[in-house]
Structure 1
Amino acid sequence: MTNRTTSRRNFLKGGTAAATGIVFCSCGLLERAHAQGAPRALPVVVNGKKVKTIDVHAHCHFREAGALLGADAAAVQLPPVRGAAEAFIEIDKRLKAMDAQAVDMEVLSINPFWYGRDRDLAAQIVKLQNEKLAELCASKPDRFAAFASLTLQAPDLAAQELETAVKKQGLKGAAIGGMVAGVEFSDPKFYPVWSKAEELGVPLFIHPQGVAELSKRLSGNGWLGNTIGNPLETTIALSHLIFEGTLDRFPGLKIIAAHGGGFLPSYADRSDHACMVGPAGCNADIKLKKKPSEYLKQLYFDSLIFSPQAIRHLAAQVGPAQIVLGSDYPYPWQMNPVDHIFDCDSLSDDERVAVLGGTAAKLFNMAT
């Protein structure tokens, strides 16, 4: 049976309980509180064992990097969405937010805004950001890790940046968009980057930027450019990596897909039938080593899909061991990311531990 209790630091001190006349039966009280909607707090405990919770999907910005864009800085780094200002991290404020979310560690990333810039400017932005990320993580190594930024429009440079970030700056991999200036990640020009990531054994975190080509159809009410466009871009990016044979070429490549992998895990089995039904739309020279849907079991997916039912479906499709915790903080998509992992009754205790932080710790070679 799952013990879903958590404890609050310094919850009872000295004679506080006696002085107030309150008697606490901690396990039952906290269990009832969670059942009534109270969020969990640190430390998180599963079946009597403390778990290190690792949020792999958390964002930040650095004003110094944006300043390199001149007049464009504000539009890039302060979009009109809730939480944008908190992306400029004030450490004490961010730590309080993490504590409230029951998150021990955030793996920070910066959404690419430099892919359309010239090589030299993009390289300056990336260099500054990686240095700032390394400095921030070194200041609180128990609470922060980070994905490097890469100048992916210049793959030769990006491969060098990744090696420097991992070997010299202590960063844990790299955050990338969904494509680069209209070029899919399956394009051979990116092979040097994927090869370097495979060699270093570090993950790449795919975070979409939306599908600009559909801007007209996605206009109107509902912020469809994000609501539909972001998960759609991830779906397209992963599908190209599968169908173009990129994942066969780099079988050791570790990819984490944001937002539960977009729409792909919800309809992956359709991919297994496409070339049988419409062979004219498939390249007979590309012979995949397994069914398209089976590649999902070698990818990783964050848990930012909002409900225990969605987690149950994703786990059934890709396997619980392929899911890692994600919140998108400071953007308020999911302010209690730990809770719906506990609320997913199809997960065993061991599977909960893996999703909450165990799998991420292995991916990033961290101690738990």
Structure 2
Amino acid sequence: MSTRRHFLKQSSAILGGLSFCSCHLLSNVNAQNLPVKRPPIVIAGKKIKAIDIHAHCYFQEAIDLMGPEGKNVLAPTRGQTKNFINVSERVSNMQAQGIDMQVLSINPYWYKKDRETTEAICQINNLNMSKLCGENPDHFAGFASIAMQFPDLAVKQLEEAVKKYHLVGAAIGGSVNGDDFSNPKYHPVFAKAQELNVALFIHPQSTPQLASRFKGNGWLSNLIGNPLDTTIALQHLIFDGTLDKFPNIKIIAAHGGGYLPSYAPRSDHSCLVSPTMCDPNIVLKKKPTEYLNQLYFDSLVFTSEALRHLKAQVGASQIMIGSDHPIPWSEEPVNHIMETPDLSDDERIAILSANAVRVLGLKI
């Protein structure tokens, strides 16, 4: 297996031959093979751009460092082969959806690896991501890869990613191998993100403790496991007092925040119903549901009614487009926003791009 030491010796070669796949221009692609471009978004007579903050990519050099485990990195989905970015094809697919910019992230697959290998994987990812975004600033921004299982290393990687590689935050899992981020050992990462004023994008990796119950039909490890993992992560950040400790932290939760926004009011009753099951040393500054108004969520909730409810619970100012592209969970993310009847023009503009610009500091 390649190690970080081996990687560093060959860093110049990697930088000279990054393989997101090919990055040829749109003009080099047969126009007959391109999907149809969606008409511009016009609201109140103004053209509005759309930013998708939940989109993925992978870099083969980093996966190679996983050794035999690398074969399990990509999920068996219809969009699997499109995780390796061909810029012209990706932009064409974005335009068919009406998306102007994607904020790319890499789902963490390195949390069980040793420190040296993990450092190498994250460095390859961040170098590649920086180059990809730097060469295509109108279409891509990126979240960093960081070694959350080694918080001291993650802090250094996050600062380097933001200051040196100009990434807009970091993508993290819903937990580290089942260990929740509310654990104080991860607080240095939260402190650094708050100091840098950048976002942590929580994208779950199923709920490993329930793996045996997810067996069977329906891909339940993803269908149930992913939103459940996010739900647990957010509830711990609330109830363990982490959000009180870091009141200005920017947390973005994938998949509409999992199940939490759908059943949030129950949170306000648990410690009233059973105070013996709650820690008397943790005194929250707000009701649990009120913390949802300082978190951010993507719009990947599928129906207009679900988006209406999410907005009612957290506010339109906290929602941004999320598609999970190229995994085909939501293939018309802009239409999802435009066709939800309960949204005002200002709320649509906010969800389409204004919130992402404000929260992530993007320039469009």
Counterpart of 1:124 (choices 120, 126, 129) is 120
The equivalent of 1:59 in structure 2 is 56
The equivalent of 1:102 in structure 2 is 98
Aligned residue pairs total: 329
| Cα distance in structure 1, aligned partners of 2:67 and 2:208 | 23
Counterpart of 2:42 (choices 34, 38, 45) is 45
Larger Rg: 1
The equivalent of 2:255 in structure 1 is 259
The equivalent of 1:72 in structure 2 is 69
| 1:190 pairs with 2:206 | no
Contact 1:40–1:339 under 8 Å retained in 2:
no
| Cα distance in structure 2, aligned partners of 1:182 and 1:227 | 18
The equivalent of 1:11 in structure 2 is none
Counterpart of 1:235 (choices 226, 231, 238) is 231
| Cα distance in structure 2, aligned partners of 1:40 and 1:82 | 21
| Cα distance in structure 2, aligned partners of 1:259 and 1:342 | 18
5+ residue gaps, structure 1, are: 1-38
| 1:164 pairs with 2:163 | no
User: What is the aligned-residue RMSD (CA, Å)?
Assistant: 1.1
Amino acid in the other structure paired with 2:51: I
| 1:91 pairs with 2:83 | no
| Cα distance in structure 2, aligned partners of 1:54 and 1:73 | 30
Shift of 1:357: 0.6
The equivalent of 1:3 in structure 2 is none
Moved more, 308-317 or 213-222: 213-222
The equivalent of 1:177 in structure 2 is 173
Amino acid in the other structure paired with 1:206: I
| Cα distance in structure 2, aligned partners of 1:312 and 1:40 | 27
Shift of 1:218: 1.6
5+ residue gaps, structure 2, are: 1-35
Shift of 1:71: 2.1
User: Helix, strand or coil for the counterpart of 2:214?
Assistant: coil
The equivalent of 2:275 in structure 1 is 279
Contact 1:326–1:337 under 8 Å retained in 2:
yes
Calculate the TM-score normalised by the size of structure 2.
Answer: 0.89
Contact 2:37–2:92 under 8 Å retained in 1:
no
Moved over 6 A (4+): none
Give the percent of matched residue pairs that are identical in Structure 1 and Structure 2. 56
Shift of 1:222: 1.2
Contact 2:177–2:208 under 8 Å retained in 1:
no
| Cα distance in structure 2, aligned partners of 1:42 and 1:62 | 31
Shift of 1:48: 1.1
Shift of 1:50: 1.3
The equivalent of 2:241 in structure 1 is 245
Shift of 1:69: 1.5
Counterpart of 1:222 (choices 218, 225, 238) is 218
Shift of 1:84: 1.1
Shift of 1:367: 2.7
Amino acid in the other structure paired with 1:323: I
Calculate the TM-score normalised by the size of structure 1.
Answer: 0.88
